């Protein structure tokens, strides 16, 4: 498959950058895309999200259904990833398929994952595998999921099995995806299953997920000492809404909860840090929001946001935040960093090309200043099932019509292809 460059692309680059010469990335830099199992596979009937969707809890009653059809045919999208010239893909494996009942492991699920991961390798890409990306088997959920102190051990048993079965194909593992997001949305805000609003439960779930990360990392290292393991953290970049002390203190406290709590536990248990970065929030103290710890997150109206129609939900488009996040994490942990997700919901792709350019420029700036960034994975390869927002938000480099399965390349995919192939953000003059 050949990539047809959109004629408007060089115009995009010209308009949005003033580079006199290409910004080159280090040799071996990973240019990837990212997906997660439940969001793309389809028919993941054995986890808590499927049940939640059937209860009509997602936007417009959306359900994941066949999702992007990856369980049948991931290969078509892997062809598309390879056609972009990307050299890596981050995906997750679904615990509920591999261990559908407690202690019972399904060889046919492993077989399918071996095909998919093998397909990534055959196409010249490095696989990065996430072991937990928000979903739990129903039997885990029935036992209290991550509220149950026994769940980290059960997770580690699953990890031991999966890593044993797949460890010859992959040596880059993400343990747990975004523990703070899972704990907050499922147990504090209650907009994800199981829909609780209880801060003590949220803290317990968070602590157990971190324990799950530790045990999973030990498990991988025990089986394959040379493999690299890391957690994936959703790094919010936060600034106080005003210089008033109540806003500043609220920001410091919130930052500790959503960033500090994760960062302070990682040094001994990780080989790398997976950083997911999307946006910046402004933070104000607000007495009317007890379920949000008296915190109001918002984006002042004059700042740019995604035009996807969910005002405020995604925060500000703030490329410098990625630079700030990389610097802070590296200063703290001194570990290699992968940007395991960054992206924008943007169906008509009128903001994403600029988003990509400016965020990648931020990564480049961080690397120039000595931060050890090893790769970037764009969320996402193809539009997929966006959790509570169902099919309402479109993050894909490829657009998907989920009714027909048809894909269409967005201009930003062609832009990413140029960058990935060049291992550089080309200077505008060098563009086709």
The residues of the shown chain that bind ligand BGC, judged by CB under 6 A, are 36, 177-178, 181, 234, 276, 341, 379, 386, 395
Beta strands 398-400 and 407-409, pairing class? antiparallel
Beta strands 23-24 and 424-425, pairing class? antiparallel
CB of 173 to ligand BGC, least distance (A): 16
CB of 222 to ligand BGC, least distance (A): 27
Locate 4 and state its tokens: 């047809």
* Helix, strand, coil fractions of the chain, as percent rounded to 5: 45, 20, 40
Q: Which is nearer to ligand BGC, 48 or 276 (CB)?
A: 276
Beta strands 373-379 and 30-34, pairing class? parallel
Q: Which is nearer to ligand BGC, 36 or 64 (CB)?
A: 36
Residue 167 burial by Cβ neighbours in a 10 Å radius (0-12, 13-18, 19+)? middle
How is residue 256 annotated by DSSP? I
Q: Which is nearer to ligand BGC, 36 or 412 (CB)?
A: 36
In 188-318, alpha helices (H): 199-223, 245-255, 261-263
Q: Which is nearer to ligand BGC, 6 or 383 (CB)?
A: 383
Containing 338, the helix (H) or strand (E) segment is strand 337-342
CB of 1 to ligand BGC, least distance (A): 25
Q: Which is nearer to ligand BGC, 177 or 362 (CB)?
A: 177
Q: Which is nearer to ligand BGC, 345 or 426 (CB)?
A: 345
Strands in 125-185 per DSSP E: 126-132, 172-177
Q: Which is nearer to ligand BGC, 330 or 395 (CB)?
A: 395
Q: Which is nearer to ligand BGC, 356 or 425 (CB)?
A: 356
CB of 273 to ligand BGC, least distance (A): 15
Q: Which is nearer to ligand BGC, 10 or 276 (CB)?
A: 276
CB of 107 to ligand BGC, least distance (A): 27
CB of 343 to ligand BGC, least distance (A): 7
Residue 192, Ramachandran bin (φ over 0: left; ψ between -120 and 50: alpha; else beta): beta
CB of 339 to ligand BGC, least distance (A): 12
3-state secondary structure of 47: strand
Instruction: Using only the alpha carbons of the chain, give its radius of gyration.
Output: 20
CB of 179 to ligand BGC, least distance (A): 11
CB of 38 to ligand BGC, least distance (A): 9
Angle between helices 179-187 and 199-223 (to 10 degrees): 150
> Distance between CA 174 and CA 180 in Å, rounded?
15
Total Cβ atoms within 10 A of residue 313: 15
Q: Which is nearer to ligand BGC, 50 or 379 (CB)?
A: 379
Locate 317 and state its tokens: 């488009």
> Distance between CA 300 and CA 25 in Å, rounded?
34
- Residue 339 in contact with residue 305, Cβ under 8 Å? no
Q: Which of 59, 146, 136, 141 is nearest to 98 (CA)?
A: 136
- Residue 98 in contact with residue 110, Cβ under 8 Å? yes
3-state secondary structure of 125: coil
CB of 244 to ligand BGC, least distance (A): 30
């Amino acid at each position: 498959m050949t990539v047809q460059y959109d004629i408007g692309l060089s115009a995009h680059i010209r308009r949005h950058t003033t580079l006199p010469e290409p910004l080159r990335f280090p040799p071996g830099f990973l240019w990837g895309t990212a997906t997660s199992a439940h969001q793309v596979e389809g028919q993941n009937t054995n986890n808590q999200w499927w049940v939640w969707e059937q209860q009509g809890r997602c936007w417009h009653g959306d359900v994941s259904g066949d999702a992007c059809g990856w369980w049948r045919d991931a290969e078509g999208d892997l062809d598309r990833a390879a056609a972009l010239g990307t050299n890596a893909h981050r995906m997750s494996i679904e615990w509920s398929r591999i261990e559908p009942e407690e202690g019972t492991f399904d060889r046919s699920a492993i077989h399918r994952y071996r095909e998919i991961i093998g397909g990534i390798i055959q196409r010249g890409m490095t696989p990065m595998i996430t072991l937990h990306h928000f979903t739990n088997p129903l039997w885990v959920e029935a036992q209290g999921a991550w509220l149950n102190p026994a769940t980290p051990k059960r997770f580690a048993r699953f990890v031991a099995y999966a890593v044993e079965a797949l460890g010859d194909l992959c040596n880059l593992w993400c343990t747990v995806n975004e523990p703070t997001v899972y704990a907050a949305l499922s147990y504090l805000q209650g907009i994800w299953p199981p829909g609780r609003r209880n801060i003590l439960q949220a803290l317990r779930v968070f602590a157990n997920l971190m324990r799950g990360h530790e045990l999973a990392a030990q498990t991988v290292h025990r089986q394959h000492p040379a493999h690299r393991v890391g957690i994936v953290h959703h790094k919010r970049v936060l600034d106080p809404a005003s210089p008033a002390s109540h806003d500043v203190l609220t920001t410091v406290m919130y930052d500790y909860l959503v960033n500090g709590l994760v960062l302070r536990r990682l040094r001994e248990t990780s080989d790398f840090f997976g950083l997911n970065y999307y946006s910046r929030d402004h933070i104000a103290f607000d007495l009317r929001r007890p379920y949000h710890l008296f915190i109001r997150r918002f984006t002042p109206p004059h700042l740019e946001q995604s035009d996807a129609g969910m005002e405020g939900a995604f925060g500000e488009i703030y490329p410098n935040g990625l630079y700030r996040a990389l610097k802070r994490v590296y200063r703290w942990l001194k570990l290699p960093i992968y940007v395991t997700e960054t992206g924008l919901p943007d169906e008509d792709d009128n903001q994403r090309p600029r988003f990509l350019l400016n965020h990648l420029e931020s990564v480049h700036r961080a690397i120039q200043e000595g931060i050890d960034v090893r790769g970037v994975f764009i969320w996402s390869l193809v539009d997929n099932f966006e959790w509570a927002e169902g099919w309402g938000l479109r993050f894909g480099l490829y657009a998907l019509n989920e009714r027909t399965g048809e894909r269409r390349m967005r201009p930003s995919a062609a832009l990413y292809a140029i960058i990935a192939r060049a291992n550089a953000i080309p200077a505008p003059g060098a563009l086709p």
